[in-house]
Amino acid sequence: MPDGPRYDDDYYAWTQYQAEVLRTMRRADNRLDRERVAEEIEDLASIVEARRALADKITSTLQRDAEAMLPELYGDARELADIGLRKFGEHAAARLPPICPYTLEQIRARGWYPKTPS
């Protein structure tokens, strides 16, 4: 049994601990982009925590408002993703759907993640 929080007991604490372990491991093989893999692990925990917080606070009025704002929010997120990816030489905006392909219910659903296009 590894040290630190257990995946099944506290997912968020587990992701943070695993990211730190990854960052501090010896670098015998430099093919692994440790920092970005650790960031991705931490970001998954952010999604879980955001969904949990939203589930605790959303009302029917907030649900309606969020559904109405989804196109604008998606546009903003698409633009931010494009800016962030350009730092790494990626030009993703052309590949991202111009309109949000997901419903708010999908986005809020615990454990749901978009399928990778084939």
pTM exceeds 0.75: no
Distance CA 96, CA 79 (A): 10
* Helix then strand then coil, % of the chain, to nearest 5: 60, 0, 40
List, for residues 9-64, the tens digit of each pLDDT value.
Answer: 887 888 888 888 888 887 776 777 888 888 888 877 788 888 888 888 889 999 99
List, for residues 62-78, the tens digit of each pLDDT value.
Answer: 999 999 999 999 999 99
Burial of 3-14, coded b for 16+ CB within 10 Å and e otherwise, reads eebeeeeebeeb
Do 54 and 62 meet the contact criterion of CB atoms below 8 Å apart? no
Neighbours of 36 (CB within 10 A): 10
Q: What is the pLDDT, as a whole number, of residue 73? A: 93
State residue 115 phi and psi, 5-degree precision: -75, 145
